[in-house]
Structure 1
Amino acid sequence: MAISQRLDMRQGTSLVMTPQLQQAIKLLQLSNVELAEFIEAEIERNPLLSRAEGGERDEYAPEEVAAPAKREELSLDDTSGMNEAREAMDASHEDLYESGTNSDSGKTADQMAGPSAKTDWSQAGSGGSFSGDDYDFEGSVSSEKSLHEHLHDQLTMSGLSLADQLIGARLIDETDDAGYCKVDLEEVASALGADPANVEAVLQVCQGFEPTGVMARDVQECLALQLKEQNRFDPAMAALIENLDLVAKHDINGLCEACGVDKEDVRDMISELRALTPRPGSAFSSGTTIAVVPDVFVRELPNGMFAVELNSDTLPKVLMDKAYYAEVSTLPMRANEKEFISECAQNASWLIKSLDQRARTILKVASEIVRQQDAFFAHGVAHLRPLNLKQVADAIQMHESTVSRVTSNKYMGTPRGLFELKYFFSAAIPGTAGGDAHSAEAVRYRIKQLVDDEGQNVLSDDQIVEILTEFGIEIARRTVAKYRESLNIPSSVQRRRRLKASA
């Protein structure tokens, strides 16, 4: 068979990752801190870009939007300016990411990026390229992990339910750099709509995190946690911990009387005490502490409705200098200079449009999350509903990957505290007789409540299944066992043995 060369034409479709598409995707997943750093770098790089001064008026003033009768895509009333960006958002979210899309070179200026709209509904109803490859976001931030990051990582791997992780995240946020959690647990329980005993239980789990002694409420508890890990917290040592004032005074005789041991034992115990760490968080970096600022706010209105609005302080207000561009365009320039100015104008226009769409996308996703989880905001963590990315994506007619990027490193400030958007997503447990599905985290919460309230009548996994069925929750015994183990709850046999041993 002879080998020959020939030319063929084939037709096909493919997605080309243009610099503009890469930039739009990158902007969407950046946190507000990273976005601010990126914008500063672009302003330095592009002579046509500038930050809006505080006195300049933002044409996207907040406006009331009527609540839709059904759970459908939120509609934003039109405002002056940026009509093309608004139409692109409403018509097709993916328009901004189409292959080969170029920014409008004819547009020499744009309005400040970032809307500040809000949505209400009834509580009952529910200069160079923009690729950024040469920009290092971590370059200005210490690579050492902070205490709070270390604790949040352990919380994610703790096996706690979503509801308990929300409580744990709040307690971690209240922990100071020394490692102490001195918050009033009653206040946390009231803010989150949780049982104070459950908050106490979550704190005890968190106190098992590394470093040992972390999240203690005082020095005595911190030292006791470290001694318990070493299996050295006997009654004599407990008495020594309770009399730290005598230790400070070097009152050996008083300590002998309080602990019921001789002087030699007291001196040995004090030596053990001095080997402990009274500030367990001091080993972690605290030089680069970045405060978490919410991207959106949720507040309850007097009429029982919820308002969701973007945090205008975190929205980058960027302008394109029309006057400077018009002035430069009239000057005699070489071909490469003209190309540079034209590219800067296109990039500036595209950046502002991308920032505008990023803000609107965050608002849409956050609004749908609040719509789906309105029971949590009204009644607390026990009322979290099952929610996944697809539900939100279908409701607002976006792709799941877009919703995933939006919920990463974005925070929501609510009357119940500050939460990352991804915390509101959980698996679903079907309801009996075709009833409403239940959040897996809410089911775990119910299992924990049943075990906490069982008293002398220890419940087996089968009995828990029967009780949950009465609540309209269809669940298998092995699923109950899996959830129980994830909550670090012993089996019914082990609980009965403990009950008999304590009797």
Structure 2
Amino acid sequence: MKQSLQLRTSQHLALTPQLQQSIRLLQLSTLELHQELEQILTDNPLLERMDDALDNSVRLLADGAISNTQSSGISEGGEHQGESTPASGDTDPGFEFQELSPHTDTSIAGESDWSFDDVARTGKTPDDEDARPQLEAHETTLREHLLEQIRVTARTVRDRGLLELLTDALDEHGYLEEPLEEIHARIPEELEVDLEELSIALTLLQSLDPAGVGARSPSECLALQIRRMPKVAFVTRKMALRIVEECLQLFAQRDFNKIKKALDCDDEDLREAQAIIRQCNPHPGSEFAGDVSDYVVPDVIVKYSKNGWQVLLNHDVMPKLRVNAMYANALKQAKGEVSLTSQLQEAKWLIKNMRQRFDTILRVAQAIVERQRNFFSHGAVAMRPLVLREIADTLGLHESTISRVTTQKYMLTPHGMFELKYFFGSHVATETGGEASSTAIRALIKQLIGAEDPKTPLSDSKIADMLAEQGMVVARRTVAKYREVLRIPPVNLRKSL
């Protein structure tokens, strides 16, 4: 075979480092973005941020004295002091680093139409209580709460030791899941502790606060609480105890007919006993769990004004970046430091990509609000079908870009906090030939179930028929799927006396 040389021309897409960074920043959530930014600031000395989270915090000097100066470098007269203010990170290749006046805008973009300093931050004097960092109070655990009672209740050191042993065996909900026999087997024989003595210690533990602690089953937990409830009629207390001890499974399934037959009672007696049982807490130790709530910070905020619905970026999640003027001027004089030159270019890229990220989020949010105006005016029942391609075609972006923008990005609206993906949903055909959003159908299902008679709750088939009367053709299994998404129990668990 004869060898030859041939020239061929072809086109292909090459992901430059700048484009790769832009895509990565776009798909990060707010929390991940700030974590990524902290790492970049550590690696690149030419990049710095102007929004210091400790600006209003009290700072201690090396000798323990309180510093009156704040990291923002603003004096009492409102003028900057200390180092000169560096220039903002302009992305123009011909950008020159100059000292700026105290009132010069030093936002991330360095452009007049992109200022992140629009929201004024109110200054706080050292005399203000809010100006000092607040320390979080120590949360008492279930074990600490019980040990404090044991120190007062236990008469002897031996009793205290047994109670502390049982306390250490409790789970986070206050249950004693390990059998007493196994706990007794771990006790050294030379202490001469028999099983009956350990059982007496458990009875003493179950008398402590909160009521129901030390129970070995949900039935025992509820029974302990019912026995300690004040001002309960004897007949009602006895009926409630029989239900939790003999028919708890039927009670959980709301099979009231079988309960009335097994206990030989009427609706009134069962209703009074049910009211007593519902006052009990099946997890008595949950109030000491100390679970920290997860808070979501919105990326965009939707407000209503005289011109209609307005979309604003949340300035609190937008980092304020700039190029360090001292390093930049040193680099300008050196004219040959390759490593610093590359870091300068990386800093410019980051500032540009950060600006582009928030600009894209704002454009997508505005397009969503424009198409879902009925939702913001009337609620979820007015949601219209929307797909990613519709927004992508409108903004001239790729569908994958819209997917990245709407993932883990949140919008604060008058109806609550929603992920941007919430506004996209499939459609269901109507009898008139139109389309209804699956989100609107779920909202209708929730409204129908919320307005139902608790004694005769609506079945999935009945809900499907009621939706059909409104022109929405929805199968029974679809209603069941939407109901499970809404975390609404089935019809037998929604029934009450």
Counterparts of 1:298-447 in structure 2 under 5 Å? 298-301=302-305, 303=306, 305-322=308-325, 324-331=327-334, 333=336, 338-435=337-434, 437-447=435-445
Where does residue 207 of structure 1 map in the other structure? none
**Deviation for aligned residue 1:356:** 0.7
SS in 1 for 2:312: strand
- AA paired with 1:47? P
Counterparts of 1:147-162 in structure 2 under 5 Å? none
- AA paired with 1:429? V
- Note if contact 1:108-1:349 (Cα within 8 Å) is conserved in structure 2: no
Note closer, same or farther for the CA distance 1:484–1:406 as it changes in structure 2 (3 Å cut).
Answer: closer
**Deviation for aligned residue 1:310:** 0.7
Note closer, same or farther for the CA distance 1:327–1:376 as it changes in structure 2 (3 Å cut).
Answer: same
SS in 1 for 2:301: strand
- AA paired with 1:418? M
- Note if contact 1:223-1:277 (Cα within 8 Å) is conserved in structure 2: no
Within 1, Cα distance between the matches of 2:416 and 2:410? 10
Q: Deviations over 1:439-498 (max 9, x none)?
A: 11221332454456565998787765554344333445664465466667799xx87x99
- TM score, norm. by length of structure 2: 0.53
Higher relative contact order (CA 8 A, sep 6+): 1
**Deviation for aligned residue 1:362:** 1.0
Within 2, Cα distance between the matches of 1:454 and 1:276? 27
1:113 to 108, 111, 114: 108
**Deviation for aligned residue 1:33:** 2.4
Counterparts of 1:116-195 in structure 2 under 5 Å? none
- AA paired with 2:414? P
**Is 1:279 matched with 2:279?**
no
Where does residue 299 of structure 2 map in the other structure? 295
Where does residue 166 of structure 1 map in the other structure? none
Structure 1 unaligned regions, length at least 5: 58-80, 86-102, 118-175, 179-210, 214-221
Q: Deviations over 1:4-48 (max 9, x none)?
A: 654433322222222212211111122222222322322232222
- Note if contact 1:409-1:420 (Cα within 8 Å) is conserved in structure 2: yes
Note closer, same or farther for the CA distance 1:410–1:483 as it changes in structure 2 (3 Å cut).
Answer: closer
Q: Percent identity?
A: 38
**Is 1:37 matched with 2:39?**
no
Where does residue 64 of structure 1 map in the other structure? none
Counterparts of 1:82-101 in structure 2 under 5 Å? none
- AA paired with 1:260? K
**Is 1:260 matched with 2:238?**
yes
- Note if contact 1:427-1:440 (Cα within 8 Å) is conserved in structure 2: yes
Q: Deviations over 1:47-88 (max 9, x none)?
A: 22222368799xxxxxxxxxxxxxxxxxxxxxxx99xx9xxx
Q: Deviations over 1:248-281 (max 9, x none)?
A: xxx9xx99787339x9x99999xxx999642338
- TM score, norm. by length of structure 1: 0.52
- Note if contact 1:113-1:317 (Cα within 8 Å) is conserved in structure 2: yes
SS in 1 for 2:417: strand
Q: Deviations over 1:413-455 (max 9, x none)?
A: 22332222222222111233333x2111221332454456565
Larger radius of gyration: 2
Within 2, Cα distance between the matches of 1:473 and 1:372? 21
Structure 2 unaligned regions, length at least 5: 53-71, 75-86, 98-104, 117-138, 142-171, 175-209, 249-278
- Note if contact 2:301-2:312 (Cα within 8 Å) is conserved in structure 1: yes
- AA paired with 2:28? L
SS in 2 for 1:472: coil
**Deviation for aligned residue 1:324:** 3.8
- Note if contact 1:116-1:310 (Cα within 8 Å) is conserved in structure 2: no
SS in 2 for 1:308: strand
**Deviation for aligned residue 1:353:** 0.7
Within 2, Cα distance between the matches of 1:230 and 1:373? 50
Within 1, Cα distance between the matches of 2:486 and 2:25? 37
